[in-house]
Chains A and B, each alone.
Chain A
Amino acid sequence: MLNDNSQPEIGKPISYSKILLKNLKKENDNINKQENNNFNINDNTDKLLKLNSFDSKTSLKSIIKEVSLEKTKSNENKKITPVLRSVNRNNINDLRKVYISTFPLTYNNEFYSDIINIYPKGLSRVATYHNIVVGGICCRLEKKTLKDIKRELPIPSVGHDLSFTQQISQLNDLKLLNTYSCYIMAIAVLELYQNLSIGSKLMSYIIKYCENDKSISSINLHVHVKNEKAIKFYKKYGFYQKEYIKNYYFNNPNIIPPDVYYFQKDLY
């Protein structure tokens, strides 16, 4: 009677109710709060109402079934999901602590004040897990230069124009001149909270943001050559290595070797 909560429900095959929940989460971040065990709200009736408002196709019977399924699940251990929040001066220090504990280098105060004051607010997020800040991402927009988009622009040989396809691709390349690239300055999750899909939540948020903004044509970042975990992570999201930059960390003797990869993900 007292032992109901001893079995956490990770790793169970996803049930219909869980899929419905995921959809609800995408529409409405606030439902995540109710998942939290610290709040004693009667979330079942709320969920019933919300279910009703979103998906009128499902019959009342199935909705009741879902809610009762959820009720039984609520008696067992609820899955804790991370919640993304915007960065403001109240939680910037939490972010600073995360970065200090996960990076071998420290950023100065200007870095953090720029995040609050200068860069667009939508480009930075903290991830909270069970109401504790455990990770964060901050990006900024950089205008593309000719050097960025320069590919092998074929030199027209004397007397001949570029072929049609070559001209089209040149035009496409030049179009990119008026676009931005989203540069990820830092993304990190506290070590003990990794492998819980928090990082992927942060990354997918930024990718979605950039996909919705047509003026952003790619996402870029620097990653240390020996950081295999990170390299694997980025490759999973479609990043590829664009450059190899030597001596990037020239004034930081702790990082050996001081080289980085410049990764890019094209959005169109």
Chain B
Amino acid sequence: MADINKLQSKENTLFKSALRFYEIKQYKKGLKATEQILKKNPEHGETLALKGLFLCNLGRKEEGYAEVKHGIKNNIKSYICWHVYGLVNRLDKNYEEAIKCYTQALRIDKDNIQIVRDLANLQIQMRNYEALNETEFQLVNLRPNLKQFWIGLAFSYYLLKKYDSALKVLEAFESSLKEKPVETKYEVSEMLLFKNLITEESGDLEGALKHLEQFEDKIVDKKSLLESRARILVNLNRKEEAEKVYRELFDRNSNCDSYLQNIFKCNNINLENPSDDDVKKIIEINKGLLEKYPKSLILRRTPLIYLKGEEFNTEMKDYLKTYFIKCVPSLFNSIKNIFNDAEKAKAIESIALEYYDQIVKNGKFDGDENKQYPTTYLWILIFLAKLYDHKREASKALEYVNKAIDHTPTLVESYMLKARIYKHDNDLETAMKIMNEARELDLQDRFVNSKCVKYMLRNGNIDEAEKTAGLFTKADSPSPLADLTEMQCIWYEYEKAMAYAKKGNNGLALKLLHQINTHFKDIYDDQFDFHVYCLRKSSFRAYIDLLTYEDKIKSHPYYFKAAVALIRLYLKLNSQPRKTKEELENEKFANLSPSERKKAMRKARKAQLKNAQAQAEQNQKNDTNKKVDDDPDGEKLLNAKDYVEECIPFVKSLLEFAPTRIETHILATQVYTLKKKYLLALKSLKKSYALDKNNAEVINNIDQFVKNFNADKDTVNATSRKIIEEEIAKIAK
């Protein structure tokens, strides 16, 4: 039998040219080349695999996968086939599968650099540091003179927290170089800072400090230099020197909160619970700094946070007066956190009212010669309105806002504030109308437009909201929603999902919430390209920050919101009896009489047929690269077999990334109780109880748990049963 996997010389050259086409990304030409080869050798494994690769890159994924698998079947021992299979998986972001394929390929051909490199990237993506270490070692052995591989190896040691090895590797490499490599100033500086970071993290703070001093003039990033030095000095408890450095940093940026806080800390001030002495020190330091940097905003705010009583009043008066005259719209927001203190809140209110009275009577502040501009009065009104809105006193807030609107009917902010007051008062219809009025005053402002869209969605006007959002989206995208999804506009998807859920359209709500989850997944997957790029561009510290950030991406508040909403929706669907398709359809037409019902059903059927036809036509026209929405109504999600099962990955993420929020534990208890995982449910139950004993949902959960547990007592094994019964006795009184 002729070897199906051997090619003649002509076909060989064609094969090589096909490989070249892949590298320069000319997929169509490559496809043609492979088809030519296949005419003569229809079962050549490697060509089949390559053809599959081209098909996948051109968007014909199913065909591509089929071809690749066919190719592998024919030629299991070819590393090219496995490599191609790995590439195809990587395109689809199936990183686990891709790693398997690459390891297979490596078993066959141990020294193929390309494969090893790709494998290293995948391992970082999957955070598999041990395996990464071995791979990097391999790379270094293959090409000991390529700097990149050595850096990669050092990096893998750093990720494994073996700092000494990392430093040794870097030093070994640099000493082994016969000639100095051509490096830019930036690369040298970044390498030094990276080494410094490793030294610092390994605990050798003195060494790190000396290292910084030694190479100070080679480090270009002065800010990081100063910050590292300050940080190390603080950790070494050399607070006076640290304070000097922080003052230097503050000179660079006199509005940076963290520098100021650190200056205070270096003076042994307890910022959480400042004693009276501490407060005096704070004010002194603050005064000194304010003389040097009179334009700094945080220096003006700091005394307000720490002072109390009469001193606070005088400071507050000055602060408010200055910024009333300056007509700053964000004045209230800048002191919002001071309002947590009830006494201070009262003081602020009385001061503001005093100024208001002064202007109303005389048109100027007491003690001034000249009258104020009319805008000063306007912004005092807005400040008072925001103040009462914060206290949720709607009628008073409306009083001031309406005065502001009468004063200057063209100020957009006053209408936005009025709409917000109505929203807090739960009158969503009026809020929407007024926000729309605000939007029409300035059609160029996308912020007002977005607020208007949000209020429309809250009120349930989904179509109108989409049209309004469409005023700012790309004109050539198929729909405003498509453009916003592409831009990963999470707030819009969330609000829309909530609007759908309220209306009862659960399928679409589920779809949108899952879409949010996909965004987070995409953000995590996007880091793949950076593994090669950052090491090549020597931006090590930024790369480390990126990795740490991506690890925690799901702690983002949007994810929390979406996951909580999703789990709640699934639990609600679980508790309702499932509706069959006929029942759903009957619901749609429930309000019509029988003849009208027939008409409506006929119409719906016609519309469906039309849609299907249009879809078929479009599919023919469309480039197959475009994503086809295969679940436009969320039907597939609604038809999932076990709603509670779908919740579990989200519950796990929440427990990992938001363990301090009570909603996490409440929902986890419910899900695990339904799933009969009583130990896990108990854990969350205890945590939620500890966070808030009187929460209605927690109490509910306890009852539910006890009920379910008692029903299933016999199925749980003995030791767990004992533990659970003990713990429950403590809680359920």
Interface residues of A (CB under 8 A from B): 1-3, 5-8, 10-11, 37-38, 40, 77, 80, 89-91, 93-94, 97-98, 100-101, 129-130, 132-134, 190, 192-193, 196
Task: List A contacts of B408 (CB < 8 A).
Answer: 132, 134, 190, 192-193
Task: List A contacts of B407 (CB < 8 A).
Answer: 192
Task: List A contacts of B294 (CB < 8 A).
Answer: 1
Which 5 A-B residue pairings sit nearest by Cβ, starting from the closest?
A97-B409, A133-B410, A94-B410, A90-B444, A192-B374
Task: List A contacts of B616 (CB < 8 A).
Answer: none
Rounded to whole angstroms, the CA-CA distance of A98 and B440 in the bound complex is 14
Task: List A contacts of B411 (CB < 8 A).
Answer: 132
| Docked-complex contact B410 and A97, CB < 8 angstroms | yes
Rounded to whole angstroms, the CA-CA distance of A105 and B630 in the bound complex is 57
Is B441 interfacial (CB-CB < 8 Å)? yes
Rounded to whole angstroms, the CA-CA distance of A23 and B663 in the bound complex is 63
| Docked-complex contact B410 and A38, CB < 8 angstroms | no
In the complex, the chain B residue whose C-beta lies closest to that of A8 is: B370
In the complex, the chain A residue whose C-beta lies closest to that of B287 is: A1
Known: A97-B409, A97-B410, A134-B408. 13 other contacts (CB 8 A): A5-B326, A6-B365, A7-B368, A8-B373, A10-B371, A11-B370, A80-B373, A90-B444, A97-B441, A130-B375, A132-B375, A190-B408, A196-B373
Is B291 interfacial (CB-CB < 8 Å)? yes
Task: List A contacts of B440 (CB < 8 A).
Answer: 93
Rounded to whole angstroms, the CA-CA distance of A8 and B364 in the bound complex is 10
Rounded to whole angstroms, the CA-CA distance of A1 and B410 in the bound complex is 36
Task: List B contacts of A6 (CB < 8 A).
Answer: 321-322, 325, 365, 367-368
| Docked-complex contact B409 and A93, CB < 8 angstroms | no
Contact of B325 among A8, A11, A40, A100 (CB under 8 A): A8
Task: List A contacts of B327 (CB < 8 A).
Answer: 37-38, 130
In the complex, the chain B residue whose C-beta lies closest to that of A36 is: B327
Residues facing A in B304-332 (CB within 8 A) are: 315, 318-319, 321-322, 325-329
| Docked-complex contact B410 and A98, CB < 8 angstroms | yes
Rounded to whole angstroms, the CA-CA distance of A151 and B325 in the bound complex is 55
Residues facing A in B356-393 (CB within 8 A) are: 365, 367-375, 377-378
Rounded to whole angstroms, the CA-CA distance of A77 and B368 in the bound complex is 13
Is B290 interfacial (CB-CB < 8 Å)? yes
Rounded to whole angstroms, the CA-CA distance of A209 and B407 in the bound complex is 31
| Shortest distance from the beta carbon of B462 to any chain A beta carbon, whole Å | 25
Contact of B322 among A5, A98, A190 (CB under 8 A): A5
Task: List A contacts of B240 (CB < 8 A).
Answer: none
| Shortest distance from the beta carbon of A115 to any chain B beta carbon, whole Å | 15
In the complex, the chain B residue whose C-beta lies closest to that of A100 is: B409
| Docked-complex contact A91 and B442, CB < 8 angstroms | yes
In the complex, the chain B residue whose C-beta lies closest to that of A190 is: B408
Is B443 interfacial (CB-CB < 8 Å)? yes
Contact with A along B396-415 (1 / 0, CB 8 A): 00000000000111110000
In the complex, the chain B residue whose C-beta lies closest to that of A98 is: B410
Contact of A77 among B319, B325, B378 (CB under 8 A): B325
In the complex, the chain B residue whose C-beta lies closest to that of A129 is: B375
| Docked-complex contact A134 and B318, CB < 8 angstroms | no
| Docked-complex contact A90 and B291, CB < 8 angstroms | no
Task: List A contacts of B326 (CB < 8 A).
Answer: 5, 37-38
Rounded to whole angstroms, the CA-CA distance of A14 and B668 in the bound complex is 72
Secondary structure at the B interface, as helix, strand, loop or mixed, is: loop
| Shortest distance from the beta carbon of B365 to any chain A beta carbon, whole Å | 7
Contact of A80 among B375, B410, B442 (CB under 8 A): B375
Residues facing A in B141-169 (CB within 8 A) are: none
| Docked-complex contact A1 and B370, CB < 8 angstroms | no
Task: List A contacts of B373 (CB < 8 A).
Answer: 8, 80, 130, 196
| Shortest distance from the beta carbon of B319 to any chain A beta carbon, whole Å | 8
Rounded to whole angstroms, the CA-CA distance of A16 and B407 in the bound complex is 35
Known A-B contacts A8-B325, A130-B327; A89 and B374 likewise in contact (beta carbons under 8 Å): no
Rounded to whole angstroms, the CA-CA distance of A8 and B407 in the bound complex is 22
In the complex, the chain A residue whose C-beta lies closest to that of B329 is: A38
| Shortest distance from the beta carbon of B127 to any chain A beta carbon, whole Å | 43
Task: List B contacts of A89 (CB < 8 A).
Answer: 443
| Docked-complex contact A5 and B325, CB < 8 angstroms | yes
Task: List A contacts of B377 (CB < 8 A).
Answer: 192
Known A-B contacts A8-B372, A11-B370, A90-B443; A101 and B409 likewise in contact (beta carbons under 8 Å): yes
| Docked-complex contact A2 and B318, CB < 8 angstroms | yes
In the complex, the chain A residue whose C-beta lies closest to that of B411 is: A132
Known A-B contacts A98-B410, A101-B409; A1 and B291 likewise in contact (beta carbons under 8 Å): yes
Subset of 19 A-B contacts with CB under 8 Å: A2-B315, A5-B321, A10-B370, A37-B326, A38-B328, A38-B329, A77-B325, A90-B442, A93-B441, A97-B409, A98-B410, A101-B409, A130-B375, A132-B410, A190-B408, A190-B409, A192-B374, A192-B377, A196-B374
Rounded to whole angstroms, the CA-CA distance of A38 and B379 in the bound complex is 13
| Docked-complex contact B368 and A8, CB < 8 angstroms | yes
| Docked-complex contact B442 and A94, CB < 8 angstroms | yes
Rounded to whole angstroms, the CA-CA distance of A89 and B407 in the bound complex is 23
| Shortest distance from the beta carbon of A204 to any chain B beta carbon, whole Å | 21
Task: List B contacts of A130 (CB < 8 A).
Answer: 327, 373, 375
Task: List B contacts of A133 (CB < 8 A).
Answer: 410
Rounded to whole angstroms, the CA-CA distance of A89 and B369 in the bound complex is 41
| Docked-complex contact B441 and A94, CB < 8 angstroms | yes
| Shortest distance from the beta carbon of B388 to any chain A beta carbon, whole Å | 22
Contact of B410 among A2, A5, A8, A190 (CB under 8 A): A190
Rounded to whole angstroms, the CA-CA distance of A119 and B721 in the bound complex is 85
Rounded to whole angstroms, the CA-CA distance of A40 and B291 in the bound complex is 19
Known A-B contacts A94-B442, A134-B410, A193-B374; A7 and B365 likewise in contact (beta carbons under 8 Å): no
| Shortest distance from the beta carbon of A19 to any chain B beta carbon, whole Å | 21
Rounded to whole angstroms, the CA-CA distance of A101 and B408 in the bound complex is 9
In the complex, the chain B residue whose C-beta lies closest to that of A78 is: B326
Rounded to whole angstroms, the CA-CA distance of A5 and B300 in the bound complex is 14
Rounded to whole angstroms, the CA-CA distance of A90 and B407 in the bound complex is 21
| Shortest distance from the beta carbon of B109 to any chain A beta carbon, whole Å | 62
Task: List A contacts of B291 (CB < 8 A).
Answer: 1
Rounded to whole angstroms, the CA-CA distance of A190 and B406 in the bound complex is 10
Task: List A contacts of B378 (CB < 8 A).
Answer: 132
Residue among B290, B318, B319 with the highest chain A CB neighbour number at 10 A: B318
Task: List B contacts of A11 (CB < 8 A).
Answer: 370
| Shortest distance from the beta carbon of A140 to any chain B beta carbon, whole Å | 23
In the complex, the chain A residue whose C-beta lies closest to that of B438 is: A93
Task: List A contacts of B365 (CB < 8 A).
Answer: 6
Rounded to whole angstroms, the CA-CA distance of A7 and B371 in the bound complex is 10
Task: List B contacts of A192 (CB < 8 A).
Answer: 374, 377, 407-408
Known A-B contacts A2-B318, A90-B443, A133-B410; A7 and B375 likewise in contact (beta carbons under 8 Å): no
| Shortest distance from the beta carbon of B27 to any chain A beta carbon, whole Å | 46
Contact with A along B320-351 (1 / 0, CB 8 A): 01100111110000000000000000000000
| Docked-complex contact B372 and A2, CB < 8 angstroms | no
In the complex, the chain A residue whose C-beta lies closest to that of B322 is: A5
| Shortest distance from the beta carbon of B452 to any chain A beta carbon, whole Å | 14
| Docked-complex contact B368 and A2, CB < 8 angstroms | no
In the complex, the chain B residue whose C-beta lies closest to that of A102 is: B409
Task: List A contacts of B441 (CB < 8 A).
Answer: 91, 93-94, 97
Task: List A contacts of B410 (CB < 8 A).
Answer: 94, 97-98, 132-134, 190
Task: List A contacts of B329 (CB < 8 A).
Answer: 38
| Shortest distance from the beta carbon of B173 to any chain A beta carbon, whole Å | 46
In the complex, the chain B residue whose C-beta lies closest to that of A91 is: B442
Task: List B contacts of A37 (CB < 8 A).
Answer: 326-328
In the complex, the chain B residue whose C-beta lies closest to that of A40 is: B295
Task: List B contacts of A3 (CB < 8 A).
Answer: 318
Rounded to whole angstroms, the CA-CA distance of A90 and B371 in the bound complex is 33
Rounded to whole angstroms, the CA-CA distance of A3 and B322 in the bound complex is 8
In the complex, the chain A residue whose C-beta lies closest to that of B443 is: A90
Rounded to whole angstroms, the CA-CA distance of A129 and B407 in the bound complex is 14
Residue among A3, A8, A38 with the highest chain B CB neighbour number at 10 A: A8
Rounded to whole angstroms, the CA-CA distance of A10 and B370 in the bound complex is 7
Contact with A along B615-631 (1 / 0, CB 8 A): 00000000000000000
